[in-house]
Amino acid sequence: MLSLNNLKFNPNSMKKKHRVARGISGRSAGTGDKGQKARSGVSIADFQGGQTSLARRTPKIGRFFKRKKMKFITLESIEHLISINLLNLEKKIDHEVLEKIGYLKRNEKFKLIGSIESKIEIVANAISEGAKKSIESKSGKIEII
């Protein structure tokens, strides 16, 4: 008669599982035998099975250059600096003056944009068309260096 105290496993029913990548008995851990891909720390990044890689297929056309970095300063902000007495209308506003008040860094170039309501004399690296018209309409002076 079959009862819980006389149950037994069938022979070979509990076969030990093959433990992959666990030492000597583990074998190749799913990487196959030998070769570059079986080694540790190796990855073939953009290899496409002998096909020329995308990086080599795309044309390299044009010039690669760094664009000159320029800070944009609005004439409205300069007018605000004049209103809080950080800038003087009687003096010429140039890089040194803006650097002293902490508005520009050393050797930093700047371009003027926007519009202004008061007459100013300013020295800048570049200026937009609208800003130029705005300063000239108030009979101000612009010097571009």
Question: Could you state, in chain order, the average pLDDT of each consecutive group of 10 residues for the chain (145 residues)?
Answer: 86 76 67 77 76 85 76 91 88 90 89 90 92 91 90
Residue 38 DSSP one-character state? G
Q: What's the pLDDT score for residue 126?
A: 93
Q: What's the pLDDT score for residue 24?
A: 63
Q: b or e along 42-66 (b: 16 or more beta carbons within 10 Å of the residue's beta carbon)?
A: eeeeeeeeeeeeeeeeeeeeeeeee
Fold type of domain 70-144: Ribosomal Protein L15; Chain: K; domain 2 (3.100.10)
Total-model pTM: 0.52
| Ramachandran angles phi, psi of 124, nearest 5° | -140, 165
Sign of CA dihedral 11, 14, 20, 25: negative
> Is residue 110 a contact partner of residue 97, using CB atoms and an 8 Å limit?
no
Q: What's the pLDDT score for residue 129?
A: 93
> Is residue 113 a contact partner of residue 143, using CB atoms and an 8 Å limit?
no
Question: Tokens in use for 21?
Answer: 């990548």
Q: What's the pLDDT score for residue 23?
A: 64
